[in-house]
Structure 1
């Protein structure tokens, strides 16, 4: 019988551990073999798939392209994000749905803005040939794309390349609507990016028919006309539903360039453009050649109208003001509004003509093509605004949207801060000498004449526009710290009412930081009115649908914040008076009307300014080029000062002229016949612009006395009095 020995627990455990070790070793070996086999297979596959040199380059470029595309997408999104701040998911369309009529102080209509509810025609009632004309000309693939049309963009680029110029645009109707609703007319890559994103946004929220209707209702079609219904009434004196094919083609031709192809301005060009639109309709397959033959043989003829010169830039600015008031809830639920505007139509027309005449006559010799101007009363009321040479060609408002370097016209803010902080008085002696700033590198600004004048008073330094003195003053304002000094200047300009931020850079005291024309006028208004803060406004009163006043602007200067001490404002007035009488601004002198101000010229003569004021009005004038190209030696004391003189001379005809605060009897206003001569000189054979006149306080008192006498007079015939010679009071 076999002898079975009992195995101890320790032996059993050791045996199990040896078995486990053997299994683990075998498994790891097998796994390693399989892993090596897999690596060899991958290596073999990699060898078979290894690209050639050409393939390697393609793969590398593709990877780089994907990387840059990802980075570009992030950057594009970052640029487009601010555009959506104006877009409220529930309120955006309601805020745009305003119908505003602007009237002057006599009740005469100046212009309209917004969607005119009484004239909004349902899209299914619009003539089919008008819709087809618009689509054939502006966006043939409107019903196929998603907001942007890549194929249309490529087609436009090819057409422009063949023509060696811009003959066809790539923006879809949705993109154009996005620009009209939410963006400015600035020509920049940033705006185009925002426009594309907003086009996607509109397409996602509105049906195609609604997008097309909004576009046709709001597009600018020249002569201050917005929308196809208003265009039909203005150009052809009929309802849009009654337009013929030829008339529809002429209106559709206005979308591209409403000023260039306006039938009331250039009928041959308008008819040629209409013929192009008809050809586009055939090319798009909407009509046949036979269907357009009658329209080609009998082109449209507009109704005769008096030449209307409407303050389009000013009305755009006023409309933005109304939208802001509506958004702030200050107009209740009212959407059909009448605005009693501060705009003086006669002064507005004169300003437009004067600047255009100066550009036509002297622009070529100076190499300058654009200008802008803002005229304010001392409460901030906008009396006139010129935002560019031709509103039809460009709705970009150079008076409110263009940021340009002001040059030496910015220096008064530095001097005012120095006066405020007790650094100088107008009679303080300053020394024009080499002056430098260190900010990582050394910058030593030079004077216009490349020389230094030594000791002089602060008033003379400002009148002669010495560059070194503002740098010295800025350092003293900051107690040795230039950045701290600029901070104090920045506080002052914000207090005066600047709406746009001014960059804090070392050259800011010399006007290197960009500003707008309207901000400069607003800032100088604080000097002219004794130190009160103002904000430009167009709406003096706003009436609702039942003609009740629902908003009234506060024109009481006494209630405005005192942002600059009155003594500082009066000192600045006396100092800037010397700029006009003895300094760089002599061309801004007005016979019998005290004026003050400051010239400004930037490097390479790219920008030229004159900003000034009288006891009645403040004005800022800018001349330059849209592409920032240099002019030929144009300074602020040349065309800008001349424009100020012409326009302000007209503004003071037949009104009570006030003296500038702080000036003495030697500058007392007086009647001077030369004022009318200067006012007419800027028009260059153009007919005299009509003007609205206001009664002086003495005239108002006399009128009240006459009304009282009339009320107390006994009934019955009045005895005849022999007529004497006419007398003008």
Structure 2
């Protein structure tokens, strides 16, 4: 018994010593681990980024361009982000992200070991990554302060920083950073930009169904893109809804209803390309040159412009219609856009129905179609479009046969050809099924319109298709203006003592200089002797203008042009009378605006204001107005150019049915066609030509190629507006004169006209034409 008690006592003492050693080793291990962890913490804490930088959150944000009525027309950005204050983010959207990404967000201190273990179990069960272990705070840390490299050391740094952030910031501040910074696919950073990208609405308008789609994106935005993989996006949505039920944010009924709600996923329109591309590109270049690329793409400028969206649309349509009409006058069908094998047609048509559909044809848009058959019996081409089947009648294709050797309409097409078509009448496809064949025109055009008085640039088109060519022919191109330059010469003459009734010579003019002989001619190849300034300008007589310039002097005329806004180099010879020196459309519109503005030069204004991201003004309206002509001179020029429209080369635009002043312009070989004109409200100019100089075609003068575009645009712009006359300023008087001599009429004068003059310049002499009969002569005739 004693022996057994002794053994038991020894074992007890041994166990006691072992226990004490175990405790000691445990504490030593704890202390060692603590020292190790502290050392690890100190090691990885060195050179960590300062979290204080998060206090002033100023991420790259969108710079937005607005129209004259504050509609968005373009956006410029490196990261498409709209920063939205936390109180404006719907609670439902916040809950969806917390449930999906970090359900214990309000409980942990930046790092959540429980969630890490739970996520690992879930992922093992699923056999794939369905749940992440990083907290929202850790994601903020990774996004703002660390690189995305996948290293153990980065994860330790991430945990340290997340803990610091959680202690330094409120949970709401962390959510504000997270929900505005996170990348959600297709260029969208933050929930506000994503809501616009995917659903075309603000975050405040999102439904539960839409909130849960967005909350499912952070894990893999491209994999769960509702644009490209709606089925995957829906599966991810199901997971988010399940998590929201588990966390008590919604009921099963709410989840079922949200999951069954049809989603209207909208592909965000590229406003920069669609609304006013040449205009906004002009703005973009100005901002970048003036303030730098960082300001444009990162600093969220609000750029207000003078462009009017409806006028811009009218300008683009007028240019397109005018160029297509020109193309059909001189070009035959150039062949299909593409050709499809039979097996490729169904997929192509499906894509068309999704992009174009019935609405496009109803609007009169030009869309693609596929030739499915040719019926020589019915004399029609059968075309499948995204809106259904239509037919192109043979009798609408006479233009297409131009230049074709075979001469048979049916031979132009083959089933499978992809062609451009439009509905014969808006909205008529379902009724008549009739289509018209179209093709991209080869010529180019530019149009610029500014508002009288203010100089606000309301519309600008720089070419036929911005997607194909970003070269802006309204401001970057310098082409010979031809006779469109003549009003500058005539205005200069009026300030040299000439009047609208002054007689100028329209006779042969020969200029010789060393080995050069220049013998210009009138367009009609005729000589007209003497004629008035009014007649010479109305009928665009070259010889009259050259003789007039010779009288007033080339240097004087060039200096005069400078006053009106012509900055391009001008040849110091008489050829400038015929517009031989290249100028831009912008310069010409500026010059013509002086006449419309009663002698004031108001340079075109494209930008009406710029604000920075904090609402401070960066730039205001640069309204630069100065009198450069006598108002009487300006009105006389307006009157002279009214005659161009009423009786001369610009008769086409009489159809506007309101007072119009304007001038056509055509260059040698019909390479360039112009029409410059204005009403009491707007000044607009149109140029038509080829980038590589070549003839537009027989008879394609400014009056035929350019003025129809101008008229089309101005008819739309003035529709419903009251008719306004040009204001007659002080210093202008009117007198009846002999239309042939420009002197005062006498009894028996064959033709008189009511002419305008500056005060003090009315003729004082009476006409003594051979066929005029005086009162005395009439008396003797009667006495006989």
Partner of residue 337, structure 1: 301
- Aligned residue for 1:340, secondary structure, equals strand
Is the CA contact (8 Å cut-off) linking 2:480 and 2:580 kept in structure 1?
yes
Per-residue deviation, residues 108-154 of structure 1 (Å, max 9, x unmatched): 1111236457489xxxxxxxxxxxxxxxxxxxxxxxxxxxxxxxxxx
Partner of residue 614, structure 1: 679
Q: Say whether 1:649 aligns with 2:715.
A: yes
Q: Say whether 1:407 aligns with 2:482.
A: yes
Shift of 1:505: 4.7
RMSD value, Cα: 3.7
Shift of 1:662: 3.4
Is the CA contact (8 Å cut-off) linking 1:497 and 1:522 kept in structure 2?
yes
Which of 68, 72, 76 is matched with 1:109 structurally? 72
**Gap runs ≥5 in structure 2:** 1-59, 84-184, 200-213, 229-263, 332-441, 735-784
Cα distance, 1:100–1:305 mapped onto 2, change above 3 Å? closer
Partner of residue 661, structure 1: 727
Partner of residue 703, structure 2: 637
Is the CA contact (8 Å cut-off) linking 1:431 and 1:456 kept in structure 2?
yes
Cα distance, 1:593–1:243 mapped onto 2, change above 3 Å? farther
Is the CA contact (8 Å cut-off) linking 1:436 and 1:445 kept in structure 2?
yes
Q: Say whether 1:437 aligns with 2:505.
A: no
**Gap runs ≥5 in structure 1:** 1-96, 121-226, 251-300, 479-484, 667-729
Q: Distance in 1 between matches of 2:297 and 2:479?
A: 38
Is the CA contact (8 Å cut-off) linking 1:505 and 1:513 kept in structure 2?
no
- Aligned residue for 1:644, secondary structure, equals helix
Is the CA contact (8 Å cut-off) linking 2:673 and 2:689 kept in structure 1?
yes
Aligned length: 402
TM-score, scaled to structure 1? 0.50
Per-residue deviation, residues 601-650 of structure 1 (Å, max 9, x unmatched): 11111100001111111011011111212111211001311111111111
Partner of residue 12, structure 2: none
Is the CA contact (8 Å cut-off) linking 1:377 and 1:616 kept in structure 2?
yes
Q: Distance in 2 between matches of 1:354 and 1:619?
A: 13
Shift of 1:437: 2.0
Shift of 1:563: 1.1
Is the CA contact (8 Å cut-off) linking 2:226 and 2:265 kept in structure 1?
no
Partner of residue 509, structure 1: 577
Shift of 1:469: 1.5
Cα distance, 1:244–1:333 mapped onto 2, change above 3 Å? closer
The structure whose RCO (Cα within 8 Å, separation 6+) is larger is 1
Q: Say whether 1:575 aligns with 2:640.
A: yes
- Aligned residue for 1:336, secondary structure, equals coil
- Aligned residue for 2:602, secondary structure, equals coil
Cα distance, 1:592–1:113 mapped onto 2, change above 3 Å? same
Q: Distance in 2 between matches of 1:512 and 1:500?
A: 12
Q: Say whether 1:535 aligns with 2:498.
A: no
Shift of 1:399: 0.9
Which of 471, 490, 509 is matched with 2:546 structurally? 471
Shift of 1:503: 4.1
Partner of residue 286, structure 2: 321
Q: Distance in 1 between matches of 2:188 and 2:325?
A: 35
Is the CA contact (8 Å cut-off) linking 2:80 and 2:188 kept in structure 1?
no
Q: Distance in 1 between matches of 2:501 and 2:473?
A: 37
Is the CA contact (8 Å cut-off) linking 1:376 and 1:618 kept in structure 2?
yes
Is the CA contact (8 Å cut-off) linking 1:318 and 1:537 kept in structure 2?
no
Cα distance, 1:114–1:507 mapped onto 2, change above 3 Å? farther
Shift of 1:550: 3.6
Q: Distance in 2 between matches of 1:101 and 1:335?
A: 10
Is the CA contact (8 Å cut-off) linking 2:449 and 2:457 kept in structure 1?
yes
- Aligned residue for 1:354, secondary structure, equals helix
Is the CA contact (8 Å cut-off) linking 2:603 and 2:625 kept in structure 1?
no
- Aligned residue for 2:702, secondary structure, equals coil
Is the CA contact (8 Å cut-off) linking 2:81 and 2:188 kept in structure 1?
no
Cα distance, 1:426–1:243 mapped onto 2, change above 3 Å? farther
Which of 351, 373, 379 is matched with 2:315 structurally? 351
Partner of residue 310, structure 1: 275
Q: Say whether 1:372 aligns with 2:335.
A: no
Is the CA contact (8 Å cut-off) linking 1:526 and 1:533 kept in structure 2?
yes
Q: Distance in 2 between matches of 1:524 and 1:371?
A: 19
Kindly indicate which of the two structures has a greater share of residues assigned to strand.
2
Cα distance, 1:592–1:456 mapped onto 2, change above 3 Å? same
Shift of 1:501: 3.4
Kindly indicate which of the two structures has a greater share of residues assigned to helix.
1
Q: Distance in 2 between matches of 1:405 and 1:519?
A: 12
Q: Distance in 2 between matches of 1:608 and 1:545?
A: 44
Q: Which has more radius of gyration?
A: 2
